Structures are given as C-alpha cells and as structure tokens.
Amino acid sequence: MIRFKSFLASTGGRIFGAFVIAALLHLVGTILIPGYSSSFAIRAMLVVASLLAVACVGQTLVVILGGIDLSIPFVIGFANVVAAQLYGEQWNFALVCLLVAVIALLIGAFNGYVSRKLEIHPLIVTLGSGMIVQGAVLLWTAGFPSGSAPQAVSDFVSIGGSVGPLPFPWLIPALVALAAVIILVLSRSPYGRRLYALGSNPGAAPLALIDPVRMWVITFAISAFFAAVAGVLLLGFTGSAYGDVGQPYLFQTIAAVVVGGAALVGGRGSYLGTIAGVLVLTEINTLLIGMGFQPAAVQAALGLIIVILVSLYGRERHIRTTI
C-alpha cells in the first residue's frame, strides 16, 4: 500500500492517473451522451486534442525549466492571421510559414533573454510581449483579418481526413511522431539533461557548465515556434483567420502540463504527461458541451480545475530542497 501511494505521488503515478481519469471521463460520456463514442466523435476529439498538444510542446519545456509562457495564445493568433493574410495576397505558403517561424523564434528568444538576463518574472515578460504582438497584428489588419489556408493544410487537420485506410487525418500520426521525438530529446539528449538540471537547481546549474541565459533563450524560442505551428494548423482547421483563436489556449496549455504531473516550480514533468493532461481537458470540454453546458460554464469549470491543480501542485517544495 505504501509503495502504491508513493507511486501515485510520483511523476509516473500522476501520468498514469491522468490517463485513467481521461478513460473514466470517456466512459461517463459514453454512458450519458448518445454518440459520444462514435467514430466521428472520437476523430473530432483526437484532432482537437492534437491541436492543443502541439500548443503545449513549448509550455511543457518552459515549465520544466521553471518558467511560464503566457505569450502562447498571442503567438498562435499572430501566426494564424499573418499566414492567412499573406497567403491571401498570393504569397508562396512555404515562404509565409518560414517568415512566421522566424518571427515566432525571435519573439520567444526575446522572452527568454529578457526574463533570465534581466531577472524579470517570465509571466510579466511573456504577457507583455504577447500583448505587443496582438496589438501589432490588430494595427496591421485594422481588426479585420482576411485570407485562408491552402487546401493541403485543411486536409492535414480535417476531421474527415484519412491516412490511407486509417480513418483519421495526417495530424494524428504526425503528433505521435512529434511526441516520440520530444520524449526522446528530453530523456536522452544533452539539451534534455540540461533542461531538467537547470529547472531542478538554477543556482548550481552554472557550476555544471550550463549557460542559463542560452537555455532560456532556446527554450522560449521553441515554445513560440510550436505556438506558431499551432496557429497555422488552426487556420486549416477553422478555414479563416481569427486573431483571438489562441485565447482558449492561454490556461489550457498550463492546465494540461500540470494535470500531466509537471511541477510549476520546475525540474519535473514530461511530454507524455502533457499528452495525458491534454486528453483529460479534451474529455472534460467535450463532456460538458455534450451535456448542454454553455461555453461560459465550460470555461468556468476549466478555471476551477486549474485553480485546484495549481493550489495542489504549485505548492510543492522545489526539487532541490529534497536532494
């Protein structure tokens, strides 16, 4: 019994628990809501979950580092609008994606550099830079973005899409491959080891020849890059540009990471856990909407979940105090 309790309190236990909760929520939905487990409904949930999982890549890395990135929804909106607007003006879409990626990387690098070099809390820096980005996009489009995504992007994320005989779009296997790469990088690469070391003990990390500023710049740049990827994918999913398309991701990315077992104090977490957290949030969203709750009630429920989780996990002692 003691070992079982210790397992549940561990990161692996929390990941396992999150997957169990997701399965139980799906069972409840299947019992209460007709068609909840239909093939179309499952495909829809997988696509929605995959889009959130892409947006959560950077938040996972940043939280392990010991920071937080509130610019993610703004970068998503920026990428969504800019990609649609420029493609609508007959730009080559590959060039559009390259431009969006470069700007996103610069935004993220700025966030990481200012946060660490000037020792300003990343919550303030990322929220401020995000609002600057949003304001710039609004000025550029005069509040009325236009354009659309290429058909190839829409097909990539389409709920009705298929990969050969498999009844789901390319987004799903692409996310599986991405998750495998991220998990491998975190567990086996020098970057992953440095990330956990710096998040676990920021003071001692430089003694191990880890450059904190460089790690923060790289990690926040990666976060902004994947936020931009999510913005482009959402353009294909919705079919039109919308500057506030990323707003639901403001706290959902944080909630998914925390539900998956990451500690907001840094040094602990995994992308597999984030995937589990994404599934939990997607099931909760789908279940509440299927039961007839209004969007405002769904947001309130998610907000309550986030507050509870942060109050539980956010109060943990930093891992360096347990060594």
How high is the pLDDT of residue 136? 92
Q: Rounded distance, CA 40 to CA 230, Å?
A: 22
Tokens of 23: 């399965």
Helix (H, G, I), strand (E, B) or coil at 159: coil
How high is the pLDDT of residue 251? 84
316: left (phi over 0), alpha (psi -120 to 50) or beta: beta
Round to the nearest angstrom and report the end-to-end CA distance of the chain. 25
The tens place of each residue's pLDDT in the chain, 323 residues long, gives: 545 445 444 567 778 888 898 899 999 999 999 989 998 899 999 999 999 999 999 999 999 999 999 999 999 999 999 999 999 888 999 999 999 999 999 999 999 999 999 989 999 999 999 999 999 999 988 878 888 888 999 999 988 777 767 778 899 999 999 999 999 999 999 999 999 999 988 888 777 788 999 999 999 999 999 999 999 999 999 888 888 899 889 889 998 998 888 888 888 899 999 999 999 999 988 988 888 888 888 778 777 776 776 666 545 555 444 44
Q: Rounded distance, CA 87 to CA 95, Å?
A: 9
Contact indicator for 62, 214 with CB cutoff of 8 Å:
no
State the pTM of this model: 0.90
Contact indicator for 147, 87 with CB cutoff of 8 Å:
yes
Contact indicator for 241, 87 with CB cutoff of 8 Å:
no
Helix (H) or strand (E) holding 70: none
Half-sphere exposure of residue 71, counting CA atoms within 13 Å on the CB side?
37
246-251 long-range contacts, CB within 8 A, separation 24+: 246/55, 246/72, 246/73, 246/74, 246/75, 246/76, 246/77, 246/80, 247/73, 247/77, 248/73, 249/52, 249/55, 249/72, 249/73, 249/76, 250/70, 250/72, 250/73, 251/302, 251/303, 251/306
150: left (phi over 0), alpha (psi -120 to 50) or beta: beta
Ordered DSSP codes for 269-316: --HHHHHHHHHHHHHHHHHHHHTT--HHHHHHHHHHHHHHHHHHHTTS
**DSSP code of 207?**
G
Q: What are phi and psi of 241, to 5 degrees?
A: -80, 145
**DSSP code of 10?**
S
* Residue 166: alpha-carbon gap to chain centroid: 26
Q: Which residues does residue 166 pair with via DSSP β-bridges, in sequence order?
A: 163
How high is the pLDDT of residue 162? 73
Q: Rounded distance, CA 252 to CA 272, Å?
A: 16
- SS3 assignment for 122-138: HHHHHHHHHHHHHHHHH
* Residue 220: alpha-carbon gap to chain centroid: 13
